[in-house]
Amino acid sequence: METKLLNGNNKEAIAEASKILQDGGLVAFPTETVYGLGADALNADAAAKIYAAKGRPSDNPLIVHIADTDAVEKLADLETMNRTHPDMVKKAHMLMEAFWPGPLTIIFPKLAIVPDGTTGGLPTVAIRMPSHPIAQELIRTSGVSIAAPSANTSGRPSPTTAQHVWEDMDGRIEMILDGGAVGIGIESTIVDMTGTIPTILRPGFITKTMLSEIVGDVTIDPAIIEPDPNLRPKAPGMKYTHYAPHGTLSIVEAVADESANRASLHSGVKVSYNATEAETLRVAEKIKALVNEKEAQGYKVAILTTKEHASLYKNYSHVLIVGEGSKGQTISARLYAALRECDSEQMEYMYSEAFDQNELGGAIMNRLLKAAGHRVITV
């Protein structure tokens, strides 16, 4: 199959992409979080093509993208929910009002119209209204509710540019709409509204604090915090080794100096931008020692750091600045691109500083830890 790469800001490209979706084909498109690989969510055959193109396990459900809140009642069983947990319906509406369009995915009980092929056999459906203008234009013009996972090959970092999608999907899908680099760079927050309390199944740009401000109590699926093999994450996708670069990535993190007087410490472990100078230097010394050791053995080794700390690694040849430690979104926006760069440069070992874990940082570290297979070296 020949894959077309077109400018998504062009109306004719959107019209052509819409036709492909209506005919049951696959189109990759930008959203504000990452690029999605879209198909008609209500067409089981079309959804099945997504799994084939990605090489994705078929028990891993897809997110359905809509452009209009009215679409929710056509996909979600709000009536049943209203009978069993009317307060959760109310809260879901409050979240939609507060965060849509935007990087929040909401899980509802599904209506029969949503095929099992889209939900991986689950009785629930994940719905999100993206804010990216090209995504909205595509949903509106096609009139299709678009099932879309991230447009990467299963196991690779999610794509944040059309070029990344091309690397993974050329020859496997009909079209890629190019909208340039995305703004957020990590996948949407997923919140499950099918229980008795809103539960975060995947952390993202919309943080627990932001959700709580709107609906009060919010919990986090324990399986996404601890890498405990006995806990099965409620979002099936969270159990796979996602975002894995080819080389071996480790995170180096300083254990907090107790003498440092800081407001927010996370379980005695300290990270990046509000680290003391001593802690930062300790991490840098460890990373340099590890890099020296691996390079002496003949390996290609990369260092992932922040703009603020880059000067600590002046004499090293493969230093990737992920973003500014004090601005979380510069890190989330470039994290996956940095991991892909390590792959294209054939890095065999990578050492990353831990980034700040507050708010958005929690979601960033969730992705970095997964990419590192939870290998953390503390100093």
264 is in an annotated binding site: no
Nearer to Mg ion, 240 or 316 (CB): 240
In the three-class reduction of DSSP (H, G, I as helix; E, B as strand; rest coil), residue 226 is classed as coil
In the block, which residue shows the tokens 């994705």? Answer: 56
Torsion angle (degrees, nearest 10) of CA 262, 268, 269, 270? 10
Does 124 participate in binding ligand TXA (rule CB under 6 A)?
yes
83 is in an annotated binding site: no
Question: Are the C-beta atoms of 320 and 345 separated by less than 8 Å?
Answer: no
Does 215 participate in binding ligand TXA (rule CB under 6 A)?
no
In the three-class reduction of DSSP (H, G, I as helix; E, B as strand; rest coil), residue 107 is classed as strand
Residue type, 345: E
* DSSP string over 126-160: EEE----HHHHHHHHHHT--EE--BSSPTTSPPPS
Within 183-212, which residues bind ligand TXA (CB under 6 A)?
A: 187-188, 190, 201-202
Closest by Cα among 338, 365, 5, 344 to 170? 5
Does 31 participate in binding ligand TXA (rule CB under 6 A)?
yes
Nearer to Mg ion, 189 or 306 (CB): 189
Within 63-82, which residues bind ligand TXA (CB under 6 A)?
A: 63
Least distance from C-beta 119 to ligand TXA, angstroms? Answer: 5
Residue type, 207: T
Site string for ligand TXA, 228-257 (x = CB under 6 A): ------xxxxx-------------------
188 is in an annotated binding site: yes
Question: Are the C-beta atoms of 168 and 156 separated by less than 8 Å?
Answer: yes
d(CA 301, CA 317): 9
60 is in an annotated binding site: yes
In the block, which residue shows the tokens 């939609």? Answer: 96
In the three-class reduction of DSSP (H, G, I as helix; E, B as strand; rest coil), residue 323 is classed as strand
56 is in an annotated binding site: yes
d(CA 141, CA 79): 29
Least distance from C-beta 292 to ligand TXA, angstroms? Answer: 37
Least distance from C-beta 190 to ligand TXA, angstroms? Answer: 5
Within 127-146, which residues bind ligand TXA (CB under 6 A)?
A: 128, 130
Summary count for the chain: helices (H), strands (E): 12, 17
Pick what 47 binds: Mg ion, ligand TXA, none; C-beta below 5 to 8 Å, kind-dependent.
none
Least distance from C-beta 29 to ligand TXA, angstroms? Answer: 8
Within 121-160, which residues bind Mg ion (CB under 5 A)?
A: 150
Number of residues that bind Mg ion (CB under 5 A): 1
Q: What single-letter DSSP state applies at residue 68?
A: S
Least distance from C-beta 65 to Mg ion, angstroms? Answer: 14
Binding residues for ATP, by number, are 56, 60, 124, 150, 158, 202, 243
Positions touching Mg ion (CB under 5 A) are 150
Positions touching ligand TXA (CB under 6 A) are 31, 33-34, 36, 60-63, 105, 107, 119, 122, 124-126, 128, 130, 148-150, 187-188, 190, 201-202, 234-238
